[in-house]
């Protein structure tokens, strides 16, 4: 199979750092500030971070693997799944083992009551695919802090299984106009579906309580509720974000041979700025209207609400070279993007350890800025170590052992291929 050298797009890796930062900040800020503080709005950033991760993942996956799969679907799909397995699974398994060891006190049954029931889901990366209550908690919350955020890894794995079909479907969309229409249709269907669920939330909740029991009730057990799983954790709504990324990549790849004019490049600056501002505006609207008659916007915030803006920002970073997109190509941000997977999986453990072992309870709300910087720096430092000691060596080892030919062992992409999943 002929290996195609793709253009390096470091700005996408820089964007990945911001996605990881948003998630880390959203989980760290509530530990340091009072719920009534104006800084509590930072806790909403996790939604932007997760959406950016999923849309960016769709873009990078299609950009790197579409030609391989289209040319020879068997070899291409094999290469794709081995590469993604090598990217995701090693660090994930290390974190799963560490979470279990930290949770155990005496024996498996006493430490994790539903250990044997939950473990098959976690080992197969399917813990977000089904709503399963075990005791008082949903399946996602059966283990420790790191595994609680691993739901997105499970959701991504679902996307990967669907991707070969998505790849061939995009072949049918020959023109840019057809791809733009597909983007519009997906956005309409996603927003309509989420808005419908929001308006019918009471009915959905009532049915869930009858089927699964009282712990599925969103009014009393929001984190473990069926409604939250359906909108936020499950891959069935989230795949719309991944599809936005895939189609955006297809549009970019179709337009990339075309040399854009000076006018288009100037418009690209305006387009990029507008896309970034739309994210900020959406964040403000969600914060302002979550508890009013427009409360359905807060549901849209949980899933897809930022996907169109994220797709626009990603497209601009890939196509244009201007003052804004060059910010995301800064070497420091690119390095942060490369370690973002470790940042995502490890940040909750680092935050919990720092808060409970190094910060006295009586001073928790003092010197918030300094504490935020120190803890986030610790997250980045530890992630850099795990990236070099676990991620890179494991990825190389698996590829060397499982790729079928020297050509397949040659990566088809640049640093962007290592995109967070």
Q: 315 lies in which domain range?
A: 10-418
Domain count, the chain: 1
Cα dist from 377 to 45, 332, 388, whole Å = 19, 13, 17
How buried is 383 (Cβ within 10 angstroms: 0-12 exposed, 13-18 middle, 19+ buried)?
buried
Residue 413: the pLDDT is: 41
Q: Output phi, psi for 353, to 5 deg.
A: -65, -45
Among 19-33, 39-53, 135-149, 328-342, where is mean pLDDT lowest? 39-53
How many CA within 13 A on the CB side of residue 370? 6
Residue 287: the pLDDT is: 64
Query: What residues form DSSP beta bridges with 137?
Result: 134
**Over the chain, what is the mean pLDDT?**
84
pLDDT of 419 > 90? The answer is no
Among 30-44, 190-204, 321-335, where is mean pLDDT lowest? 30-44
In a domain, 225, yes or no: yes
CA distance 377 to 370: 11
Residue 36: the pLDDT is: 58
In a domain, 2, yes or no: no
In a domain, 4, yes or no: no
Among 189-203, 380-394, 406-420, where is mean pLDDT lowest? 406-420
- Give every CB contact of residue 78 below 8 A, 6+ residues apart in sequence: 404, 408
pLDDT of 61 > 80? The answer is yes
Closest alpha carbon to 131 in 206, 228, 220, 242: 228
In a domain, 57, yes or no: yes
Across 279-415, the runs of DSSP E, i.e. the strands, are: none
The winner for highest mean pLDDT among 223-227, 303-307, 353-357 is 223-227
pLDDT of 110 > 80? The answer is no
- Please indicate whether residue 7 or residue 89 has the higher confidence score (pLDDT): 89
Q: What angle do the packed helices 10-32 and 307-319 form, to 10 degrees?
A: 140
In a domain, 1, yes or no: no
pLDDT of 89 > 70? The answer is yes
Closest alpha carbon to 146 in 329, 403, 369, 386: 386
Closest alpha carbon to 354 in 379, 384, 336, 387: 379
pLDDT of 415 > 60? The answer is no
Q: What angle do CA 229, 203, 132 make, to 5 degrees?
A: 30
pLDDT of 367 > 90? The answer is no
What are all long-range contacts of 100-108, with beta carbons under 8 Å and residues at least 24 apart? 100/143, 100/144, 102/144, 102/349, 103/143, 103/144
Q: What is the mean pLDDT of residues 374-392?
A: 95
Q: What is the mean pLDDT of residues 300-322?
A: 87
CA distance 85 to 88: 5
pTM: 0.89
In a domain, 166, yes or no: yes
Q: Output phi, psi for 293, to 5 deg.
A: -65, -15
pLDDT of 202 > 80? The answer is yes
In a domain, 5, yes or no: no
For 123-148, how does the pLDDT look when each residue is reduced to its tens digit (9 = 90+)?
999 999 999 998 888 999 988 888 89
Residue 107: the pLDDT is: 47
Q: Output phi, psi for 224, to 5 deg.
A: -95, 5
The winner for highest mean pLDDT among 107-111, 136-140, 386-390, 412-416 is 386-390
The DSSP symbol for 260 reads P
DSSP 53-117: HHHHHHHHHHHHHHHHHHH-HHHHHHHHHHHHHHHHHHHHHHHHHHHHHHH-SS-HHHHSTTHHH
Q: What is the mean pLDDT of residues 403-409?
A: 53
Q: What angle do the packed helices 73-103 and 45-71 form, to 10 degrees?
A: 150
For 224-254, how does the pLDDT look when each residue is reduced to its tens digit (9 = 90+)?
999 999 999 999 999 999 999 999 999 999 9
In a domain, 337, yes or no: yes
pLDDT of 295 > 90? The answer is no
Q: Is 138 left (phi over 0), alpha (psi -120 to 50) or beta?
A: beta
pLDDT of 109 > 70? The answer is no
Coil vs helix vs strand at 244: helix
Q: What is the mean pLDDT of residues 112-128?
A: 89
For 4-31, how does the pLDDT look when each residue is reduced to its tens digit (9 = 90+)?
556 788 999 999 999 999 999 988 888 8
pLDDT of 37 > 80? The answer is no
The winner for highest mean pLDDT among 78-92, 255-269, 281-295 is 78-92
């Amino acid at each position: 199979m002929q290996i195609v050298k793709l253009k390096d797009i470091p700005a996408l890796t820089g964007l990945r750092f911001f996605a990881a930062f948003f998630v880390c900040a959203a989980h760290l800020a509530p530990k340091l500030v009072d719920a009534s503080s104006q800084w509590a709005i930072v806790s909403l950033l996790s939604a932007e971070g997760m959406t950016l991760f999923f849309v960016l993942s769709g873009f990078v996956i299609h950009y790197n693997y579409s030609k391989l799969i289209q040319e020879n679907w068997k070899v291409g799909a094999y290469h794709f799944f081995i590469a993604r397995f090598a990217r995701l699974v090693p660090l994930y398994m290390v974190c799963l083992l560490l979470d279990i060891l930290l949770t155990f006190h005496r024996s498996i049954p006493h430490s994790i009551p539903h250990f044997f029931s939950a473990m098959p889901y976690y080992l197969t990366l399917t813990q977000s695919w089904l709503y399963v209550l075990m005791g008082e908690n949903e399946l996602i919350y059966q283990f420790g802090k790191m595994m609680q955020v691993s739901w997105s890894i499970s959701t991504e794995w679902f996307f990967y299984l669907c991707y070969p079909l998505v790849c061939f479907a995009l072949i049918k969309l020959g023109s840019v106009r057809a791809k733009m229409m597909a983007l519009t249709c997906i956005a309409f269907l996603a927003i309509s579906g989420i808005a419908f669920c929001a308006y019918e939330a009471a009915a959905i909740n009532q049915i869930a309580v009858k089927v699964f029991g009282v712990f599925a009730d969103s009014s009393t057990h929001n984190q473990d509720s069926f409604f939250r799983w359906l909108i936020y954790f499950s891959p069935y709504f989230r795949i719309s974000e991944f599809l936005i990324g895939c189609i955006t990549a297809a549009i970019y790849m179709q337009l990339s041979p075309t040399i854009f004019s000076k006018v288009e490049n100037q418009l690209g600056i305006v387009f990029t700025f507008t896309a970034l501002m739309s994210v900020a505006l959406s964040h403000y609207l969600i914060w302002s209207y979550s508890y009013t008659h427009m409360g359905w916007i807060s549901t849209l915030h949980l899933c897809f609400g930022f996907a169109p803006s994220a797709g626009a920002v990603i497209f601009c970073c890939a196509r244009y070279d201007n003052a804004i997109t060059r910010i995301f190509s800064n070497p420091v941000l690119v390095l942060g993007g490369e370690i973002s997977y470790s940042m995502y999986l490890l940040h909750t453990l680092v935050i919990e350890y720092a808060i409970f072992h190094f910060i006295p309870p009586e001073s928790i709300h003092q010197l918030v800025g300094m504490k935020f910087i120190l803890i986030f720096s610790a997250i980045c430092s530890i992630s850099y170590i795990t990236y070099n000691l676990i991620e890179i060596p494991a990825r190389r080892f698996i590829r060397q052992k499982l790729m079928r030919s020297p050509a397949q062992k040659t990566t088809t992409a640049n640093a962007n291929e290592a995109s967070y999943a």
